[in-house]
Copies of this chain bind each other. A is one copy, B any other.
């Protein structure tokens, strides 16, 4: 393209309100513009990258045997009522009315629509397994849209859905999609990691997320130092304690602790080990008979809310009791809680179960018990895994220890089981003519989010450094004083034509701008290879080449430039 006929729209200044580097650079390099909260337009350069990501995703879906379809963005509410999500789904589901006051939603996902299509179109086991995908705009009315297109309200997603009569083909397709997702991220050139994931509100059993590793990632990934195990921290299994509980050696004592409102203060003031204390968290119960439940974790651990809300006794989504509720039920503030004498179900983390002679709040303001022992001072409690794993502890399957990384979730695959097909009555006749409920898988890629994730992983202080496969342009032509030098203009135009004819995407900066501005724009936009043309170069018979990634410059004989660029750019 010629910059003079293009909407380049670069900005020097770092925009206000753009917290993460990808958002800043996407605005500065003229990739996107904000139209309203969480709503963005893709300018030409950004869209070129988006379309390249889309093409790679499409290609890998086709290779994996998925067939492309396109479902509407506006979906009839009755399907959501049938699946039950009309009620379940929170305000992220934008409910709208048409001119006849009928209910619709702006599709945040398409499980209902695809299940409706498949139950109508597929009747026989002969048509299965079936794998369908689309690349379509989605809308989620995020409560706090942020990070540009990383968490926008409107975004481009690839969503695939597979249908099966048996677990064998379900597993096979799941594995195919897992591989396709690895291929997509490898081809794009990103450092990523597939991790075990929680399947969340979408339902189902087996689930993996695909994370692009980046410091700014919203998710924490726990992976094993030796071996393949990796999981979202939401889902990472904490190791069961290997030691058994030590015998009690202390009497339980009630201690005045007027200045210890937190574990940290308690530990500091009384010189005890934090690993010998527990935190007591009061959450809402799942039933009216048991309105509150106490969750007990070791003082140095963090509650894992995802694990906790899966407990049968606990309300989902997890809801903490307010200070007022705690005082009304227990008679003490949140700084003085503990498991001793508590009149509600008590669930402890596995690591708490093996503690002895430990300290906890006494359920009386400004008092703690020291020397607490299970069985003696309070009943044995049910022990489960309800905490986040921590760096350095044993990873599952004997694969060394846990290490942590941050990731940006760009893909998520699920085995949904019969959640939707059962609710929506999606049956197919099997080989014996018997109606069977379909098994279903679903597989999402955040196409637009990948663009931001790629930038988070690949940039420097001058701008974006695109992975080769998704660079908006392969080569930049930077003519110096073209509007004065006929020779420069002629050579620049010639190279532009040659590259264009060869199918090499060029950014030809034909503006009347200072070289410094043109250089800065090339680097900000992240053009991988730049050729500088000036009178001095022509005199010397060599053109100056600059590599965006390495920053290295090199003189290339004029008659070798085209072959050189072909060799590095194609």
Contacts and interface: CB of A to CB of B under 8 A. Distances in A.
Interface string A21-38: 000000000000101100
Nearest to A139: B74
A116 B34 CA distance: 11
Given A35-B116, A126-B511, A70 B41 contact: yes
Interface residues of A, number: 58
Contact of A121 (B7, B121, B127, B139): B7
A120 B27 CA distance: 13
A341 B98 CA distance: 48
A68 B40 contact: no
Copies of this chain held together in the complex: 2
A119 B474 CA distance: 30
Interface stretch (A42-50, A307-315, A367-375): A42-50
B4 A126 contact: yes
21 contacts: A5-B65, A5-B130, A5-B131, A7-B67, A7-B122, A36-B74, A36-B76, A39-B74, A42-B69, A42-B71, A43-B121, A44-B67, A44-B68, A47-B70, A50-B70, A51-B68, A72-B154, A73-B137, A98-B141, A99-B143, A137-B137
A373 B416 CA distance: 82
A428 B67 CA distance: 47
Interface of A: 1, 4-7, 9, 33, 35-36, 39-44, 47-48, 50-51, 65, 67-76, 91-92, 94, 96-99, 104, 106, 113, 116-117, 120-122, 126-127, 130-132, 137, 139, 141, 143, 153-154, 511-512
Given A96-B94, A99-B91, A99-B141, A42 B67 contact: no
Nearest to A11: B121
A345 to B, nearest CB: 35
Given A33-B120, A35-B117, A41-B113, 9 more contacts: A35-B113, A39-B72, A39-B75, A40-B72, A41-B69, A73-B137, A94-B98, A98-B153, A99-B143
Nearest to A75: B35
A477 to B, nearest CB: 18
A465 B76 CA distance: 33
A169 to B, nearest CB: 11
Contacts of A44: 67-69, 132
A120 B99 CA distance: 33
